Structure 1
């Protein structure tokens, strides 16, 4: 410990923030590679989307080709919306899990500083 304890605490805080920033970047990178699926009510259309909502794959069961064009379009849109909704929920839960330890640590530090 130096003769400037405030400076030591500030340096420790900066190091902790740097480590948290690296961890957050790693986790967000892993999240970006995940996909979610959505299936239409008919079960004949499957769509995959990334966590930012981009559609990466559409799979049509051959039986879906029996639909009229409007019904097929409606099934595809339904599956796309579900995939994007599922991807958004996945992102939301991942970010919540990432930030929850940060907020808990902040609460603990505040408590320790106050007592």
Structure 2
């Protein structure tokens, strides 16, 4: 019977962890929706904003039009990369704040660690399934005896 108690405790713990993870995922979605990366030239003449995976805004002061077209295009492209990087930094900060060392982005980047986590989960589930099967078999035997 102790084995069954351990199984139920493990299942309760897993359910609690899943609930907490989904709550964090909902909060993550809310926080990520508000992220906007920005980049501005030193003189403030050109500003690029990055949101939802693409350029969301481009402001060009008329004084910036004095630049050559190639320089203007290069500056806009550079700023778009900087704005995207700013957005990514903000996203990483939100992920770290919510998930700490259990940051899903970091787990995926660490393929070896990810494989270890998958192996551990497989072992836990395999053990739980085996324990459940044993419990069902014992209950069926008892029913046949009565």
Structure 1 length-normalised TM: 0.72
Q: Shift of the alpha carbon at 1:43?
A: 2.8
Query: Per the alignment, in what secondary structure is the counterpart of residue 57 of structure 2?
Result: strand
CA contact (8 A) 2:28 2:95 kept: no
Q: Shift of the alpha carbon at 1:63?
A: 0.5
Alpha-carbon distance in structure 2 between the residues aligned to 1:95 and 1:38: 22
Structure 2: gaps of 5 or more residues: 104-146
Alpha-carbon distance in structure 1 between the residues aligned to 2:54 and 2:26: 20
CA contact (8 A) 1:42 1:75 kept: no
Q: Compare 18-27 and 84-93 and name the one that shifted more.
A: 18-27
Q: Which residue does 1:36 correspond to in 2?
A: 37
Alpha-carbon distance in structure 2 between the residues aligned to 1:99 and 1:12: 18
Query: Per the alignment, in what secondary structure is the counterpart of residue 43 of structure 1?
Result: coil
Q: Shift of the alpha carbon at 1:42?
A: 4.2
Look at both structures and tell me which one has the larger radius of gyration over its CA atoms.
2
Once the two structures are superposed, what CA deviation does each residue of 1:52-92 show, in whole Å capped at 9, x if it has no partner? 53110000111011111111111111211110111111111
CA contact (8 A) 2:38 2:83 kept: yes
CA contact (8 A) 1:39 1:78 kept: no
Alpha-carbon distance in structure 2 between the residues aligned to 1:26 and 1:63: 42
Alpha-carbon distance in structure 2 between the residues aligned to 1:40 and 1:53: 21
Structure 1: gaps of 5 or more residues: 104-115
Once the two structures are superposed, what CA deviation does each residue of 1:17-56 show, in whole Å capped at 9, x if it has no partner? 2132122222223213310101134431101112x53110
Q: Count residues in correspondence.
A: 101
CA contact (8 A) 1:40 1:78 kept: no
Alpha-carbon distance in structure 2 between the residues aligned to 1:82 and 1:26: 26
